[in-house]
């Protein structure tokens, strides 16, 4: 694995993305056949997370991939992310599954937060950043968002319009997180937000809002919260990063 990384960081990142997407999709199907949501997926993703984490540590790449404290205090930039994560409870609190399924779902989503941040914001972004920063930011954000288009074809039950909104939302979230990583030098806040945002979905009340109202809420989250946050990060974050260094 190390030889492949040394030969081509981009190839290494792409192979991890493909392995993650393909194996997780297959594991989801196996989990459903067993009858416990994410049961096989959670085990697979735990293994993948441990392999990636210890490989990074053993190769002294922890600082490069953001396994450290951010140089900008989290209180200065995390509030919008807390608002985004809280959307799971805007319609109330509920349990979508029984205990075994809920436990496996939460474990899987925490691993997803770790894996996707390390792969998209870490491996892929860092591999491209040294050649073209703007291109690295765009590609990292777009690939992360477009990856969610699978919900159009995987039988998730989402309406096409809802899946398109999710893709747009994911692209903007990816853009926000890559800026946080680039300027803050730490992937830890990104992993925590991503894991929490995914895992909390299992506790949202099902069918609290009509599809129309839910779509309006999603659009508000996209254009008001995320749009304003992107503007803040682009205009203010570089200055804060420089001040933190000094």
Domain ranges for the chain: 2-245
Please write the tens of the pLDDT for every residue from 43-67.
Answer: 999 999 999 999 999 999 999 999 9
What does the pLDDT read at residue 215? 65
Taking a C-beta distance cutoff of 8 angstroms, is the pair 180, 190 a contact? Answer: yes
Question: pTM of the prediction?
Answer: 0.85
Please write the tens of the pLDDT for every residue from 75-120.
Answer: 777 777 787 777 767 667 777 788 899 999 999 999 999 999 999 9
Q: By CB neighbour count within 10 A (0-12 exposed, 13-18 middle, 19+ buried), where does 20 fall?
A: buried
Residue 54 CB neighbour total at 10 angstroms = 10
pLDDT surpasses 70 at 158 = no
Give CA–CA dist 104/160, Å, rounded.
Answer: 27
Mean pLDDT confidence for 130-153: 77
What does the pLDDT read at residue 214? 65
- DSSP alpha helices (H): ranges in 8-75? 9-34, 39-58
Most confident of 40-54, 95-109, 155-169, 182-196: 40-54
- Give the list of residues 6+ apart from residue 56 with CB closer than 8 angstroms, or none: 62, 65, 67, 118
Adjacent-strand bridge partners of 204: 93
Report CA-CA distances (Å) from 2 to 17, 148, 163, 177, 205. Answer: 16, 29, 37, 26, 45
DSSP secondary structure code for residue 210 in this structure: -
Give CA–CA dist 3/214, Å, rounded.
Answer: 48
Three-state DSSP at 93 gives strand
pLDDT surpasses 70 at 217 = no
């Amino acid at each position: 694995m190390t030889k492949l990384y040394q030969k081509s960081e981009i190839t290494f990142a792409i192979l991890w993305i493909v392995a993650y997407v393909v194996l997780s999709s297959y594991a989801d199907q196996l989990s459903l056949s067993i009858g416990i949501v994410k049961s096989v997926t959670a085990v697979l993703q735990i293994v993948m997370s441990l392999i990636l984490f210890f490989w990074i540590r053993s190769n002294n790449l922890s600082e490069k991939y953001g396994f450290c404290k951010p140089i900008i205090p989290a209180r200065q930039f995390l509030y919008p992310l807390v608002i985004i994560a809280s959307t799971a409870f805007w319609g109330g609190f509920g349990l979508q599954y029984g205990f075994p399924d809920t436990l496996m779902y939460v474990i899987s989503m925490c691993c997803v937060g770790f894996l996707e941040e390390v792969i998209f914001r870490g491996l892929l972004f860092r591999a491209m950043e040294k050649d073209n920063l703007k291109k690295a930011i765009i590609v990292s954000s777009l690939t992360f968002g477009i990856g969610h288009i699978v919900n159009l074809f995987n039988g998730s039950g989402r309406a096409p319009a809802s899946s398109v909104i999710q893709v747009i939302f994911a692209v903007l979230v990816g853009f926000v997180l890559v800026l946080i990583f680039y300027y803050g030098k730490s992937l830890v806040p990104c992993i925590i937000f991503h894991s929490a945002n995914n895992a909390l979905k299992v506790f949202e009340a099902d069918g609290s809002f009509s599809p129309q109202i839910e779509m309006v809420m999603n659009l508000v989250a996209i254009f008001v919260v995320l749009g304003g946050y992107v503007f803040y990060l682009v205009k203010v974050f570089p200055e804060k990063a420089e001040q933190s260094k000094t």
